[in-house]
Chain A
Amino acid sequence: MHIKGGNLRTEMMLAKLKESKFKIITLFFSLLLAAFILVQLICVVTHTTPQALITSIASPEIGFAIRLSLITSVISTILCIVISVPAAYALARYNFRGRSLLNTLLDVPLALPPLVAGVGLLILFSTTSFGKGLAEAGIVFVYTPLGIIIAQFFVNVPFMFRILRSTFQGINPRYEYVAQTLGCSESQAFWRVTLPMSKNGLLAGSIITWSKAIGEFGAALMVAGATRMKTETLPISLYLNMTSGHLNLAIAAATILIIISLASLFVFERYGGFARVF
């Protein structure tokens, strides 16, 4: 009897398997993909001993890279916010001629390879009279941390812009109408109602812009170059140390980048799930 019961159960399991073969195949692919990603991360983090990792992170060079990355990414993110808030509002609220063309243009940096963006910025700031004028006034972008900031800004501003645009579009303009009848000017209505109501979108946009800025490499490399202890952000440090064979330092930079990415992904998923980036 016992054996018979066991057979029955096996048969049922087999039948179930057969039934959901499709489910199993698709599930297999998703697991495969997850494993691939996980293995990669583990490879980086476990490449050196924890001891060596800690020593490297504490080194002056990595310390410099962390500081420079934090400073440039925070400034470029603030710039993205300052420029995107009014721009996204205009395109979310007003109807005007050329609006769809403007929308497309503002998305271009998203599609452009960062290296190409970097070349464009380099030419703008080093060869045109506009760039030369700025340089003469003491604002030098080429081969300076300032160049890193402008590169991060250019590449990442579409993310901020798009998230804010869809956030503003999702807010009924009648909230502002009511605020206006309650004694607000147009801009007061924006500050007191629309902006506070956009805080999730603003947070999500800032997180994604900031974390992308931390990882920005191609455009920054073109404009600011890769000079040790001068324009050495975390990704530049990773690149410099990898090519010069200082594997421990490279791993240290990579590990920090991984931690930052995971943390910002978590925050983004938590608060910005509604915002459409693409």
Chain B
Amino acid sequence: MIRVENISKNLGEFFLRDVTLEVNDGEYFMILGPTGAGKTILLETIAGIYPPDKGKVFLDGRDITNIPPKSRNINVVYQDYMLFPHLTVAQNIGFGLRSKKIPKEEVERKINESADLLGVSHLLHRYPGTLSGGEQQRIAIARAMVMEPKALLLDEPLSALDTQTAERLRQELSKIHLATKTTMIHVTHSFEEAFLLGDRMAVMDKGGIIQVGEPNEVFRKPGCKFVADFLGVGNLFKGESTIDRDVSYIDIDGVSFVSTTLKSGDVYVSIRPEDILVSKQRIESSARNSFQGRIESIVDEGTIVKLIVNIGIPFVAVITKQSLDDMGLRNGGSVYITFKASTVHVFK
């Protein structure tokens, strides 16, 4: 277990302020926050790169605040790989094993094992400079995993990759975690990553931790306006999808959505509050999703108004203040919400 207690660190531009956090053994823990929130310093403090100004770091109950990084057995993977350009892929992966007193055959076996795990065995004799971003990041992860770390710290590991590569690597991170049960702390600014990978997550801003919890819970019940705004999605649900004749039907607690994204099984669904049409009567249109509901709350946000409409599940819709007045909507009133199947974003 990793425990960070009242850590403060000031690096000028970036800082941490009184951060306390607990990550359990074998947990996939996500840290979500905007640029400059202090996510990277938190990781680097856990890794021991620099001592905190204040506070303590514990690993399995042992105070490691003053232990140098080389003796912590905690490894880091950065967004831009940081592969050593003067070494081959095999030498990169084996870099950390050289410091340990291990027989040569054992080192070779471990390098091959780790390369296999990440699917980079065919690259062992190449130099990093000639490889694609996805390949480099796999090697960086292999270089960390070969150390059998107590915890693997990932600093926006997918941010520099194109969407497809990132998605594939994300699935593999999930597999690796399942297979090795390594404690992972993964920093990101993508809510999708946090949602899909995290057992639990923390939201950070301005050097502090704002909310900790299971992703579902954090997304459903943002603890404060910052979290809600940062997460940016009002409508995020978990459901089960079945495909039928070029559309998918997603069942969410008894409410069924139609989507043009074809993914089946357990899925997550998001619909942007701006994409929703609110009306007082049912409207005949090409939009495949239309539900009747009751207005649970009306939140004035300046130029726009946020409606929470209960259609069996709470649904957020954003309309202008003018339409709110023109339609004469009130708390508790009945409305219809309508949205096109193509606006229902499905991911897994």
Measured CB to CB, the residues of A under 8 A from B are: 172, 174-175, 177-185, 188, 192-193, 196-197, 199
Contacts and interface: CB of A to CB of B under 8 A. Distances in A.
Nearest to A182: B96
Nearest to B12: A95
Contact of B82 (A174, A192, A199): A174
A4 B137 CA distance: 68
A199 B47 CA distance: 28
Contact of A177 (B76, B96, B98): B76
Contacts of A184: 70, 99
A182 B99 contact: yes
A181 B84 contact: no
Contact of A183 (B78, B85, B96): B96
Interface residues of B, number: 25
A196 B143 contact: no
A188 B80 CA distance: 22
B70 A185 contact: yes
B109 interface: no
Given A175-B84, A185-B68, A197-B84, 16 more contacts: A172-B80, A174-B82, A177-B44, A177-B47, A177-B69, A180-B68, A181-B49, A181-B70, A181-B72, A181-B74, A181-B76, A182-B95, A182-B96, A192-B95, A193-B84, A196-B84
B137 to A, nearest CB: 13
A106 to B, nearest CB: 25
B82 A175 contact: yes
A178 B78 contact: yes
A109 B96 CA distance: 42
A196 to B, nearest CB: 5
Contacts of A179: 84, 95
B307 interface: no
B100 interface: yes
Given A172-B82, A197-B86, A182 B75 contact: yes
A197 B96 contact: no
A201 to B, nearest CB: 13
Given A183-B99, A184-B70, A178 B76 contact: yes
The 5 closest A-B pairs by CB, nearest first: A183-B99, A182-B96, A180-B69, A196-B86, A181-B69
Interface of B: 44, 47-49, 68-70, 72, 74-76, 78, 80, 82, 84-86, 95-96, 98-100, 143-144, 147
Contacts of B96: 181-183
B94 to A, nearest CB: 10
Contacts of B86: 196-197, 199
Contact of B143 (A175, A177, A182, A193): A182
Contacts of B70: 180-185
B78 A181 contact: no
A25 B80 CA distance: 48
A174 B153 CA distance: 14
A185 B48 CA distance: 12
A70 to B, nearest CB: 30
Contacts of A177: 44, 47, 49, 69, 76, 82
A175 B68 CA distance: 16
A197 B82 contact: no
11 contacts: A178-B76, A179-B84, A180-B69, A181-B69, A181-B75, A181-B96, A181-B144, A183-B98, A183-B147, A196-B84, A197-B84
Nearest to B149: A181
Nearest to A177: B49
Nearest to B78: A174
A172 B76 CA distance: 15
Contacts of A181: 47-49, 69-70, 72, 74-76, 96, 144
Contact of A178 (B68, B82, B99): B82
Contacts of B100: 183
Contacts of A193: 84
A199 B85 CA distance: 12
A154 to B, nearest CB: 33
A132 B72 CA distance: 52
A184 B143 CA distance: 14
Nearest to B153: A181
Nearest to A171: B85
A193 B143 CA distance: 15
